[in-house]
Amino acid sequence: ISICRDLPNIEVITFSVNGISDLEPLNQCQNLSELYLRKNNITSLNELFYLKNLPRLRVLWLSENPCCGSDPHRYRMTVLRNLPSLQKLDNQAVTEEELSQALVDGEEITAPPARRSVENGCPESTESSAAESTTETESELLSFSLEETNKIREELGMKPVPRDKFSSFSPRETDCNRKKRNNVLNAILLLMKELDAEGLEIVQQTVGRRLQAFRKKELQEE
């Protein structure tokens, strides 16, 4: 997620299922309009402090993080009190009535959370991560990642990735490696949006050479 510090003009970010715990790198993304953070390791709603000054943020998906707690009403009201410009939260439209109620039932966040020493990324083996990996089926993870990746590709004017090609990225990889690979793919697509025509031509040439090398290697192995 630290890559976002170098992407102030980014508009859509998808980091679902990536062990992320700190949203501080997002506080300079002034053009951010959609943020997908489902199933991460965000433990405190105080992380919303870093999103409060993002004027264009309209869509946030934060569900299935520890910060959601056991009281869904309090959670939703707190998010909407601090981010009243949201139009959709956790794939559910925000109503005017909810925004008014959030002023009463929501908690105002005025300070960032205490600093933690745990770095973002795939966590080491723990009971919580082990439990998550048993409940998160591969088909669910791939479907959600495919949906978010294709949303970014649509923003870039690119064709969607077929499911058969997307799932072939990581059929036998560990959860951590799969998440990292999907994260790298999404980061590349996001970075491409920042490039001009000359930069895209360089990327195209580099990708062409890489593909030729892979095909040559496959032919040699056959």
Three-state DSSP class for residue 93: strand
Beta strand pairing call for 92-93 and 88-89: antiparallel
Three-state DSSP class for residue 7: coil
Looking at residue 179, its pLDDT comes to 62
pLDDT tens for the chain, 222 residues long, are: 788 888 888 888 888 888 899 999 999 899 999 999 999 999 999 999 999 999 999 999 999 999 999 999 999 999 999 999 999 999 899 999 999 999 999 999 998 887 654 444 444 433 444 444 444 444 555 555 667 667 666 766 667 766 665 543 434 445 556 666 666 777 777 777 777 888 788 888 888 888 888 777 777 776
CA–CA separation, 98 and 92 (whole Å): 12
Looking at residue 181, its pLDDT comes to 67
Does residue 99 lie within any of the structural domains? Answer: yes
Nearest 5°: the CA angle 76, 77, 81 is 120
Does residue 123 lie within any of the structural domains? Answer: no
Give the end-to-end CA distance of the chain in Å, rounded to a whole number: 39
Looking at residue 146, its pLDDT comes to 66
Q: Assess contact for 141 and 173: CB atoms under 8 A.
A: no
Last residue of a domain, one of 82, 105, 128: 105
Q: In this structure, are 101 and 188 located in the same domain?
A: no
Last residue of a domain, one of 105, 134, 163: 105
DSSP run (H or E) holding 209: helix 197-221
Q: In this structure, are 8 and 101 located in the same domain?
A: yes
Provide the domain limits for residue 192. 178-221
Looking at residue 158, its pLDDT comes to 67
Q: HSE-up of 206 (CA within 13 Å, CB side)?
A: 6
- Provide the number of structural domains found in the chain: 2
Last residue of a domain, one of 77, 105, 133: 105
Report which DSSP code applies to 12: E
Report which DSSP code applies to 24: G
Look up residue 31 and give its two tokens: 């053009």
